[in-house]
Structures are given as C-alpha cells and as structure tokens.
Amino acid sequence: MSKPILLSVKGVNKRFGGLQALSEVGIEIEQGEIYGLIGPNGAGKTTFFNVLTGLYTPDSGEFMLGGAPYKPTAVHEVAKAGIARTFQNIRLFGDMTAHENVMVGRHVRTKAGVLGAVFRTRATLREEEAIEDMAHDLLEYVGIGQYANFTARNLSYGHQRRLEIARALATEPKLLALDEPAAGMNATEKVELRALLDKIRNDGRTILLIEHDVKLVMGLCNRLTVLDYGKVIATGSPHDVQHNPAVIEAYLGTSAH
C-alpha cells in the first residue's frame, strides 16, 4: 500500500535568458521516504531546489504540499509552509554558537511579537526557554550536543554539516531538502551522515536529497529522479535507475551495470 503523497510538483519550467534550465520537471514524494534528485553537473538539480524553496520564481508549474496548493515565494514563507533546506556551501552564522544557530532556525515558529520581546512578558520568557531546550535536544539528536557552546566556525566540517541539519529541523519541516550534504566529507563522516539520515527517516521525516555520491544515494534513497539538461530522464527505485540505459549514458557511465 502506497503512502500519502507529501509533495507533488508538475510541469515546472524555468528559463534564464536563452537557457531553458528546467523543462516540464515533475516529482512526487511520499511521506516518510528519502527521495533522491541526481544528474550530471548543470542538469538543473539546484535550480529545481531553488525554485522549490523560493529563491527562484518558476515560469510555470503546479505545487502541492501535504495535499494543499503550495506557492514557493519568499524563503521565510517557504519555511513556514513546511520546507527547510540546507545549501551545498555551508551557510551558518560563524560567530554564533552551535546552540544559537539552532535557536535562530526555530524563530520561524515563534509566536512572541515585538511587544512581548520588549516587555519580556511571561509568555515570551516561556517560549524562549522552550526554544533553548529544543535547540539542545536537536544538537543531541544530530550527535553534536557536546559542542553546543562552540562557535560554528570552530566546529569540524562534518559537524558543521550536522549543525545545518539541526537548524533546518528546528523549523519542524514537513520536507527536509538537503543540497549536497556529503560534499567535502571524508569516508567516516559519510558513514555517519548516512546513519543520521536513516534515523531522521525512521522517525517519520521526509527528505529530498541532491547528492553526487552515487554510492550514498543508491544505498539510502527509496526512489530517485534523474535530470539531464533540465529534463527528467528517469524516475524509479535505485535498482531501476541504475539499469536505465538513458541514465547510464548521461550520468552513471558503463560501470553502473
């Protein structure tokens, strides 16, 4: 029995001048799966991510999130709607602690207004305390709780990646969109990342993953879509995608057989 569709995207087009970056791209992601988006450099993967998360405005397309129409607009509105993302190039507040970075992520869900912040009302103080506790819990969850008071720039590369994920989880996303989370990681860090993403999925979260590490993607994702020159050339299970002739020719190479 198939699971409910969390995200449905149909007919997305995006042009930059004379370049058709996305052409009729569509995906359907089920609740609770890790869904991979792969393809060679320049295939349109990050463009699609940027459209989905409000950084680019699509020329056309239909979006449904959690069964309701969804319109990617401003980035903070996308976060409120329930999509949180990380970036290929790490974007943390380097001079803030790990704990403070996660707290910042949570503010998209806060209720206290300006007056509450100015007058330090009881409700505001309770909410701030709850945010502090959640930030600590999320740092423990991703395995870096002992580094809560370290400034972000002083964390190891792998721990900075984990911190980005914790900050994204602080928004309580319906969909966690990860752009190249394994980029720059060593073999040990990749094994640890795979275990963390497995854990997130097993706890009921849904993940959309862009990743160049084919071994990681094939071993982790439930299903995949492959882009090439802005078009979908294959969708299916890792096994089906690995043995698709169009994918082998465009991306995986003959060794994938």
Q: Does 210 lie in the same domain as 255? A: yes
On whether both 182 and 65 belong to a single domain, the answer is yes
Q: What is the pLDDT of residue 121?
A: 61
Element (H, E) at 193: helix 187-202
**pLDDT for residue 75:** 74
Task: Tell me the whole-structure pTM to 2 decimals.
Answer: 0.88
Range of the structural domain that residue 2 is part of:
1-82+174-257
List own/partner pairs for 184-193 with CB under 8 A and 24 or more apart. Answer: 184/157, 185/157, 185/158, 185/161, 186/158, 189/157, 189/158, 189/161, 190/216, 192/143, 192/158, 193/158, 193/161, 193/162
pLDDT of 87: 83
Nearest to 224 by CA among 68, 71, 43, 65: 43
Please state, in angstroms and as integers, the Cα–Cα distance from residue 245 to each residue in 23, 39, 234, 235, following that order: 21, 14, 10, 13
pLDDT for position 125? 63
What is the pLDDT at residue 254? 45
- Tell me the CATH number at 111: 3.40.50.300
Q: Do 148 and 103 share a structural domain?
A: yes
Specify whether 68 is located in the same domain as 103.
no
Backbone angles phi, psi at 206, to 5 degrees: -115, 135
Q: What is the pLDDT of residue 120?
A: 60
Token pair for 1? 């029995």
* 186 and 166 housed in the same domain: no
| Domain boundary pick from 128, 157, 172 | 172
Residues 23 and 43 both lie in one domain? yes
SS3 label, residue 29: strand
Low-confidence ranges of the chain (pLDDT < 70): 1, 107-121, 123-125, 127, 252-257
**Alpha-carbon span 37 to 146, nearest angstrom:** 33
pLDDT of residue 66: 92
How many domains are there within the chain? 2
Choose the final residue of a domain: 172, 198, 217. 172
